[in-house]
Structure 1
Amino acid sequence: METEIASELLPFCRIYKNGRVERLSGTEIIPPSPDATNDVVSKDVTYSPEHNLSVRLFLPHKSTCNNHHNSNNNNNNNKLPLLIYIHGGAWIIESPFSPIYHNYVAELVKSANCLAVSIQYRRAPEHPIPASYEDSWSAVQWIFSHADGSGPEEWINEYADFNRVFIGGDSAGANMSHHMAMRAGQEKLNPRIKGVAIVHPAFWGTDPVDEHDVQDVEMRRGIAEVWEKIASPNSVNGTDDPLFNVVGSDSDFSGLGCDKVLVAVAGKDVFVRQGLGYAEKLRKSGWGGDVEVVVEEEEGHVFHLQNPSSENALRFLERFVEFITGSGTDVL
Structure 2
Amino acid sequence: MEEAMKEVMIATANINKEDLLHDFRPRLVIYKDGRVERFLGTQSIPPSIDSLTGVESKDVVISTETGVSVRLYKPQGVKSNEKVPLLVYFHGGAFILETATSPEYHNYLNVLSSKANVIVVSVDYRRAPEHPLPAAYDDSWAAVEWVRLGLAGAEPWLSTHVDPARVFLAGDSAGANIAHHMAKRIAKCNNPDGKFALKGLVLVHPYFWGKDRIGSELQKLNSSSESRFDRLWKLAYPGTTGSDDPLFNPEMDPELSVLAGEKVLVFVAENDLLRDRGAHYKDLLVKSEWKGEVQVIETEGEGHVFHLFKTVSPKAAQLMDHFVEFINSS
User: With structure 2 as the length reference, what TM-score do the two structures score?
Assistant: 0.89
Residue equivalent to 1:21: 36
The amino acid that maps onto 1:222 is R
Alignment root-mean-square deviation, CA: 1.6
Q: 1:181 aligns with which of 157, 180, 183?
A: 183
The amino acid that maps onto 2:184 is M
Task: Report percent identity of matched pairs.
Answer: 45
Q: 2:250 aligns with which of 243, 246, 250?
A: 246
1:318 and 2:324 matched: no
The amino acid that maps onto 1:293 is V
Q: 1:78 aligns with which of 77, 82, 94?
A: 82
Residue equivalent to 1:273: 276
Give, in angstroms, the shift of residue 136 of structure 1: 0.3
| Residue aligned with 2:57, SS | strand
| Runs of 4+ off more than 4 Å | 34-37
Q: Distance in 2 between matches of 1:80 and 1:276?
A: 30
The amino acid that maps onto 2:318 is R
Shifted more, 110-119 versus 46-55: the winner is: 46-55
- Superposed CA offset, 1:285-330 (max 9, x none): 111111121111221111111211111100010000001111xxxx
The amino acid that maps onto 1:278 is Y
Give, in angstroms, the shift of residue 280 of structure 1: 1.0
Written as runs of structure 1 = structure 2, the 5 A alignment for 1:297-316 is 297-316=300-319
Residue equivalent to 1:56: 71
Q: 1:5 aligns with which of 2, 9, 20?
A: 20
Give, in angstroms, the shift of residue 220 of structure 1: 4.5
Q: Distance in 1 between matches of 2:311 and 2:218?
A: 27
Q: Distance in 1 between matches of 2:312 and 2:52?
A: 17
Q: Distance in 1 between matches of 2:77 and 2:197?
A: 27
Q: Distance in 2 between matches of 1:35 and 1:90?
A: 28
How many residues in Structure 1 have an aligned counterpart in Structure 2?
Answer: 308
Residue equivalent to 1:158: 160
Structure 1: state its 5+ residue gaps.
68-76, 327-331
Residue equivalent to 1:127: 131
- Superposed CA offset, 1:267-291 (max 9, x none): 1110111100001111221111111
Residue equivalent to 2:200: 195
1:89 and 2:89 matched: no
Q: Distance in 2 between matches of 1:129 and 1:110?
A: 33
Shifted more, 216-225 versus 301-310: the winner is: 216-225
Q: Distance in 1 between matches of 2:296 and 2:20?
A: 43
Written as runs of structure 1 = structure 2, the 5 A alignment for 1:194-233 is 194-208=199-213, 210-215=214-219, 216-217=221-222, 220-228=226-234, 230-233=235-238
Q: Distance in 1 between matches of 2:306 and 2:314?
A: 11
The amino acid that maps onto 2:33 is N
| Residue aligned with 1:62, SS | coil
Q: Distance in 1 between matches of 2:177 and 2:274?
A: 11
Give, in angstroms, the shift of residue 238 of structure 1: 1.3
Check whether the contact 2:92–2:98 (CA below 8 A) recurs between aligned residues. Answer: yes
| Residue aligned with 2:217, SS | coil
Residue equivalent to 2:6: none
Q: Distance in 1 between matches of 2:298 and 2:179?
A: 19
Check whether the contact 1:81–1:161 (CA below 8 A) recurs between aligned residues. Answer: yes
- Pick closer, same or farther for the CA change 1:297–1:37 going to 2, 3 Å: closer
- Superposed CA offset, 1:26-77 (max 9, x none): 01000100465522110001111111111000011222xx33xxxxxxxxx3
Q: Distance in 2 between matches of 1:40 and 1:214?
A: 44
Check whether the contact 1:57–1:118 (CA below 8 A) recurs between aligned residues. Answer: yes
